[in-house]
Structure 1
Amino acid sequence: MIKRAWNKWRSGYMGRLVGESFYAQGKLYGIAVLAMIAVAVTTAGSAYMMEYIVDAMTSPELRGYAHVIALGVVILFLVKAIASYIQSVFLARAGNRIVAQQQDRVYRKLLRHGVSFFSTNESSDLLMRTTHGAQAARSLIDVLVTGFVRDALTLVGLVGVMVYQQPVLSVMFFVVGPIALLGVRYLLKSVRSIMQAEFASLAEIIRVLQETSAGIKVIKVFSLEDRMINRMDTAIRRVEDRANDISRLQSVASPLMEFLAGLAVAGVLVVSTMGIAGSEQPSAGQLMSFITALLMAYEPAKRLSRMRVQIETCMVGVAMLFDLLDQDETMLESPKAHDLIDGPGQIELRNVTFGYHGAMPVIEEMNVTFEAGKTTALVGQSGGGKSTLFGLIMRFYDPDQGSVEIDGQDLREVNFASLRRKISYVGQDTFLFSTSIMDNLRCSSPDATDEEVIDAAKAAHAHDFIMDLPEGYNTQVGENGTFLSGGQKQRIAIARAILRKAEILLLDEATSALDAESESLVKKALDTLTKDVTVVVIAHRLSTVLEADKIIVVQDGSIVEQGNLDELMKKNGSFRNLFNQQFKKHAPSAEVAE
């Protein structure tokens, strides 16, 4: 993926980044550029002033102007200092704004993707693209602006001083420049592959950290510490090696320029003493001005020689960033999408066939109706497609064939906002945000009052344990609720769903982490609160769904049985087999069986 992203650079990533950045931050960059021009002019001016400084010190007839020259020097360096400050401040502001805007763009793009996008892209890769890609974009703009404006103009100004003072001696500088450029061009061949490998290693470090945080219990139970340490050590060493390689390549330019600058100064000294610099003998001030300009030109020339290396270093991250921004969104609203028209909340699947990422169908030609205001239970062996049905109802995915409808409206024709307002959900993998319990509860209904939040918590039998926590509802739950037990997290998730007061409630093993007593209490609360609500329940424990209005048995992506408890027990089919497996010690009575 990184290699593919790099190849796209040549189709215009740099021009696109520069165009977008200057359009958005034109004012800040404009001020910074003006300040850089002032820095370049004053730098060249300071070299030019050396002629008057030296001549004033060595020529008696010019000593009377020493105070005027000194004042000019003070003013020159004051202007340069102010310009340097303005340049740094506004360049930093523009750069920081670019980072913020790019990260915001990427995050908004990620949220527009469907659930399937996150199942095929690792979070470590997305994190790398969002953070390092944005920083690379900022660094690239900084390199281009400072290189082509400040350093280039400074170098042009100093070369102008050199040519003005000593045209013949300036030839030495034009001999040195091409030699340095040839050396830097050789370095570029290695930079690209090294940076691609470094990004891959950085992503591995993030991946190991995420897996350690999420799977620490498994790591401890199976004594995987050494294995994880080895993975991390390998990734860290690779990053270190790549960083050392980049540093070595970037550092080659400086010694090269140092040596060539020394050759140039020595050549100037020899040539000037041989009397071939011109027909007239130059003054001491002219020679000093020329040598000062030559020595001062060394720094901008060195930075310019390294600029290509820095650009190549940044472009890998920029290409990765734009590759993510340019990916087609996996779930789109119809251009003519409308609000879901209010209705009782009846859900229908019509001839639905669906397979993840175009693979073998998980659900095939399914027709089913979840009646409005009733509770329907989905049961069956794991992997049969029950959770996939929930994903289709919430439009995390679109069916490959057929349609999913709510109150007769195809979900592909309604907008996401109105659909999501209609539905509340509690999953078997309870997720909590790393914030307070109150914020976690209120996220399902931002306008809810504190009293409404507390009532929902009481209904989910979460209020008592919340009040026993150090800060009650303001207690921080930690990353994904790590400070709470599984049962506590599940009750908060149930309270969150209750607070939403949606017409459709989807429960995927919602009480699996609760003890029998808590499950019974929560179930009673849900029975009261879900009156006239369309409830669809996935459960492996049949004890939780025996009172459902309808029970549907799903197997291998198809519906094999459906009906109420009495009807299914009389059929002596798949549901009866599941029932007998779970209640072996409590076989159904003859009365029920009949």
Structure 2
Amino acid sequence: MSWLSEKLAKKWFNAGQMHLIERLLREQGRKHVRSYVIAFAMMGVIAACTTFSAYIMKDIIDRIFVDRSIEAMWAIGGAIVTIYVVKGFATYGQQVTLTRIANNIVAEIQTRIFDKMLAMDIAFYNRSHSTEFIARQAFISSAASGALNMLITALGRDILTTLGLTFAMFQQDPVLAVLAVVIMPGAIIGVRKLGAKAKKVMMTEFSGFASILESLQETAQGIRVVKSFTLEGHMRARQSEAIRSFESAANKLARVQSRSSPLMETFAGVAIAAVVVYGGYRVIYNGAEPGNFFAFITALLLATEPVKRVARLQVDLSTSLMGVEMLYEFLDQQEPEKETGTELELKVTQGRVEFQQVEFSYRAGEQVLNGIDFVAEPGETTALVGRSGGGKTTTMAMLLRFYEPTGGRILIDGQDIAQCSRRSLRSQIGYVGQDSFLFKGSIRDNIAYGRPGASEDEIVAAAKAAFAHDFITGFENGYDSPVGEQGMQLSGGQRQRIAIARAFLKNAPLILLDEATSALDTESERAVQEALKQLCAGRTTLVIAHRLSTVAKAERICVIESGKVIEMGRQDQLLAKGGVYALLHKTQFESAALLAEAAAE
């Protein structure tokens, strides 16, 4: 900030804005100081050329039109060409340099935003809409470069040009220069209060932009629901309201940003009129040289545009600084999953998983896990069953460290996973959920996510183990077939088997299955179950299942209710006990029998 007048800056910007500007200069300005110096030098050349344009007007009038000198005409014509050629190349250099800096800053900030997203925990995503991330990338990432370039351009091009032209005016006529300088600054003072209004309106515009993205995304992702429930009219009205809100905010912002124009033009008109009247009087009555007057009036006219841009700086910069403020609010959030690098590496030797009185709550006073206590023995399948909302999925999420226990411990082969790095923990776990997410790309790409860098033979072997190879090769493009957005070009059973192939390729000693077959038809479920049987063989497996038939052969079944394990044992033991599991089993199979009878009729 040494080259920015602190006194002037504090007049234009409040404390919050000054803090943002200083942080921008500290974090980004320093990295590009050499390029900014080059751009600043180019702006100095532009300012000098503009000033010379005003100076040369005196000779144009006095030497060509008054003295009628042919030699002067050619010399001045050549000088004008030289001035504007130099100015053109300097403008090119300045624009290219600033654009390269801006592109670099935008790229770096987009990377930082994405890295920050990856560093946040699941709780952050639970309370945020995905369109917020898209809006940040599209709206906020360019705010920092825009603010910096605005400052540099104002300082280098506009202020230097204004100073040069003001010096030229004082050289030609000090009295007229004082008259102009006294009138023009009033315009700058008059637009200072518009910045706060512009920032407020810009926030509304951003909210409207985010709402448009939100409606677009949810309509695309939920198009089956939209069509089946004939919600086209509702979604159209919702989107129209968001668009109208955005349009209204954009129009209001345009009005606020343009309010400086009448004020600036009025002050400029008053200043120019006063100069013309006084200067004309001196030429007519006092015999002053007309060349001096024309040089002065040229300098004044050339100075009006940079002065207007400087006056608008606080208004225009406020909108960019709002984006910068939102950027830093996001980047300054704590990273719950950030690790120091000193964490232990988890070593899985047998695969014994033990939950010791684990407690957890999403919100204060709403306990979800109330002392979960069980052991999943190595190489065996442990099933978690129970009514919805009992805490089964949360229990599995705790093992992946999506959330941290508020009490108790989780051990793997005697190692407290809270003391181990998340990367080493998750690298030992293969996960298959109910809704297996597939990324945009080919089938091969999605299987390869299990272990990036795997060979073609390994990918094919994983697909065969998951009973997916046959249907994959049945496609025209085989493993190169695109899966579509979220895998929508494949059936549910096909998506599940690709997810299982991905888990096969990972070859992790621990397997987590979160209702991996509950959404499938009977035929697809049979194929997926066979694939899961191959996947789980010899591995420690934790299964969440609503269909009790899928876990009938599990070595251990844990019945979870109200965040506690209330029953545990093999299926025959639990049925003989006649407790909660027996009731669930009876209810489920009686319902299945009634459905079968109804279908037979």
**TM-score normalised per structure 2:** 0.92
The partner residue of 2:91 within 84, 91, 99 is 84
The partner residue of 1:161 within 168, 176, 185 is 168
- How many Å separate the matches in 1 of 2:363 and 2:33? 43
**Residue by residue, what CA displacement relative to the aligned partner does 1:153-190 show, whole Å, maximum 9, x if unpaired?**
11111111111111111123223323212331242342
- How many Å separate the matches in 2 of 1:273 and 1:43? 24
Q: Please tell me whether the aligned partners of residues 500 and 535 of structure 2 are also in contact (alpha carbons under 8 angstroms).
A: no
Q: Please tell me whether the aligned partners of residues 133 and 320 of structure 1 are also in contact (alpha carbons under 8 angstroms).
A: yes
Q: Please tell me whether the aligned partners of residues 351 and 401 of structure 1 are also in contact (alpha carbons under 8 angstroms).
A: yes
Q: Please tell me whether the aligned partners of residues 105 and 144 of structure 2 are also in contact (alpha carbons under 8 angstroms).
A: yes
Q: Please tell me whether the aligned partners of residues 114 and 329 of structure 1 are also in contact (alpha carbons under 8 angstroms).
A: yes
1:8/1:39 Cα in 2 relative to 1: closer, same or farther (>3 Å)? closer
Q: Give structure 1 stretches of 5+ with no counterpart.
A: 1-5, 588-594
- How many Å separate the matches in 2 of 1:55 and 1:478? 75
In structure 1, the residue matched to 2:338 is 332
- How many Å separate the matches in 2 of 1:172 and 1:443? 72
Q: Please tell me whether the aligned partners of residues 500 and 532 of structure 2 are also in contact (alpha carbons under 8 angstroms).
A: no
Matched residue SS, 2:408: strand
- How many Å separate the matches in 2 of 1:187 and 1:563? 71
Q: Please tell me whether the aligned partners of residues 345 and 406 of structure 1 are also in contact (alpha carbons under 8 angstroms).
A: yes
In structure 2, the residue matched to 1:561 is 567
- How many Å separate the matches in 2 of 1:387 and 1:318? 38
1:471/1:311 Cα in 2 relative to 1: closer, same or farther (>3 Å)? same
Q: Please tell me whether the aligned partners of residues 493 and 528 of structure 2 are also in contact (alpha carbons under 8 angstroms).
A: no
In structure 2, the residue matched to 1:64 is 71
- How many Å separate the matches in 2 of 1:434 and 1:186? 48
The partner residue of 2:180 within 167, 170, 173 is 173
- 1:470 Cα deviation (Å)? 3.3
List, as ranges, runs of 4+ consecutive aligned residues in structure 1 with deviation greater than 4 Å. Answer: none
Q: Which residue type is aligned with residue 431 of structure 1?
A: F
Q: Which residue type is aligned with residue 369 of structure 2?
A: I
Matched residue SS, 1:362: strand
In structure 2, the residue matched to 1:293 is 299
Instruction: Give matches, 1:10-409, under 5 Å.
Output: 10=17, 12-60=19-67, 62-275=69-282, 281-333=287-339, 336-409=342-415
Q: Which residue type is aligned with residue 561 of structure 1?
A: E
Q: Give structure 2 stretches of 5+ with no counterpart.
A: 1-12, 594-601
1:7/1:471 Cα in 2 relative to 1: closer, same or farther (>3 Å)? farther
The partner residue of 2:451 within 420, 445, 453 is 445
- How many Å separate the matches in 1 of 2:271 and 2:230? 64
**Residue by residue, what CA displacement relative to the aligned partner does 1:242-278 show, whole Å, maximum 9, x if unpaired?**
111111122232333233322222211211232399x
- 1:554 Cα deviation (Å)? 0.9
In structure 1, the residue matched to 2:468 is 462
- How many Å separate the matches in 1 of 2:109 and 2:550? 48
- How many Å separate the matches in 2 of 1:183 and 1:548? 78
- How many Å separate the matches in 1 of 2:536 and 2:491? 26
The partner residue of 2:579 within 559, 573, 577 is 573
- How many Å separate the matches in 2 of 1:170 and 1:39? 22
Matched residue SS, 1:361: strand
Matched residue SS, 1:356: strand
- How many Å separate the matches in 1 of 2:583 and 2:521? 25
- How many Å separate the matches in 2 of 1:525 and 1:476? 22
- How many Å separate the matches in 2 of 1:585 and 1:233? 46
**Residue by residue, what CA displacement relative to the aligned partner does 1:186-234 show, whole Å, maximum 9, x if unpaired?**
4234222211211221121121112212222222222222222122111
- How many Å separate the matches in 2 of 1:218 and 1:529? 34
1:178/1:59 Cα in 2 relative to 1: closer, same or farther (>3 Å)? closer
| Aligned residue-pair number | 581
- How many Å separate the matches in 2 of 1:503 and 1:291? 83
1:250/1:335 Cα in 2 relative to 1: closer, same or farther (>3 Å)? same
Q: Please tell me whether the aligned partners of residues 432 and 500 of structure 2 are also in contact (alpha carbons under 8 angstroms).
A: yes
Matched residue SS, 2:142: helix
In structure 1, the residue matched to 2:597 is none
1:513/1:74 Cα in 2 relative to 1: closer, same or farther (>3 Å)? same
**Residue by residue, what CA displacement relative to the aligned partner does 1:560-582 show, whole Å, maximum 9, x if unpaired?**
11111221121111111111112
- How many Å separate the matches in 2 of 1:340 and 1:175? 74
Q: Which residue type is aligned with residue 546 of structure 1?
A: A
In structure 1, the residue matched to 2:442 is 436
Say whether 1:419 aligns with 2:425: yes
- How many Å separate the matches in 2 of 1:483 and 1:568? 42
- 1:62 Cα deviation (Å)? 5.0
Q: Between 329-338 and 31-40, report the one with greater CA deviation.
A: 329-338
In structure 2, the residue matched to 1:592 is none
- How many Å separate the matches in 1 of 2:525 and 2:319? 57
Q: Please tell me whether the aligned partners of residues 133 and 317 of structure 1 are also in contact (alpha carbons under 8 angstroms).
A: yes
- 1:467 Cα deviation (Å)? 2.2
Q: Please tell me whether the aligned partners of residues 333 and 413 of structure 1 are also in contact (alpha carbons under 8 angstroms).
A: no
